[in-house]
């Protein structure tokens, strides 16, 4: 009889523990990361966030802006195409309560691939978190313009995070390493989770 009671208690604890684990995984699974990356900074940041948040992720491919078109060469302007085409054009947003959009900053706004994604999709009823990689921090007016792209498509911007891709050392701009970018992504992951309401 004692063993039987012990078994019941053990099974109950195991059931509660497994239920809590399933709920945690389900909460994390409600976060979707959609990102575009050109130099790799946004990609490594989003890969780190995906791991730390237990999220799913989709990378947008910019059809008209291959890396070779974006190289800075002396006296030659990069061949940027602002109105581009992307793959995929849409993803299954309906299964996610919170969507994280990761993008570099181009000309004080989101990069072409992310702007095209926002143009082609709606975010009705979704919490949207914006994460940008940028050489220089944007001012509040510039941030508001970016947020308005989301609100115009029905989304609720629940957070905005910047990861600086450059440091200023003795008056000179110095590129941050991928490891430094990853470290910044690790720092903001808990704040993104909180903003998304994961596990609630």
Within the chain, strands assigned E span 31-36, 56-62, 86-87, 98-106, 109-110, 127-134, 156-164, 166-169, 172-175
The pTM of the full predicted model, rounded to 2 decimals, is: 0.82
> For the chain, which domains are there?
31-196 (3.40.50.360)
Query: Chunked in runs of 10, what are the mean pLDDT values of the chain (200 residues)?
Result: 43 36 42 96 98 97 88 76 95 94 96 97 96 96 98 97 92 92 97 81
CA distance 142 to 129: 16
Q: Is 199 helix (H, G, I), strand (E, B) or coil?
A: coil
pLDDT value at residue 198: 52
pLDDT value at residue 78: 79
pLDDT value at residue 25: 34
Whether a cis peptide bond, with omega within 30° of 0, leads into 88 is: yes
Question: Phi, psi (5° rounding) for residue 135?
Answer: -80, -25
Residue the block writes with tokens 């699974």: 29
Of residues 139, 134, 110, 118, the one with CA closest to residue 39: 134
């Amino acid at each position: 009889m004692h063993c039987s009671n012990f078994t019941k208690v053990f099974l109950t604890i195991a059931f509660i523990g497994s239920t809590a684990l399933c709920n945690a995984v389900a909460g994390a699974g409600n976060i979707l990361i959609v990102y575009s990356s050109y130099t790799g900074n946004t990609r490594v940041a989003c890969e780190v966030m995906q791991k730390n948040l237990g999220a799913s992720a989709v990378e947008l491919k910019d059809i008209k802006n291959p890396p070779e078109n974006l190289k800075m060469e002396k006296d030659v302007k990069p061949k940027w195409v602002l109105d581009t085409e992307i793959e995929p054009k849409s993803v299954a947003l309906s299964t996610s309560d919170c969507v994280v959009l990761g993008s570099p900053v181009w000309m004080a706004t989101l990069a072409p691939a992310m702007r095209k994604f926002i143009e082609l999709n709606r975010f009705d009823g979704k919490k949207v978190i914006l994460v940008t990689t940028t050489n220089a921090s944007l001012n509040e007016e510039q941030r508001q313009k970016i947020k308005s792209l989301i609100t115009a498509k029905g989304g609720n911007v629940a957070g905005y995070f910047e990861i600086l891709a450059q440091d200023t050392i003795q008056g000179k701009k110095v590129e941050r390493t991928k490891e430094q970018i990853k470290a910044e992504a690790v720092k903001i992951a808990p704040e993104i989770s909180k903003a998304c309401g994961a596990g609630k």
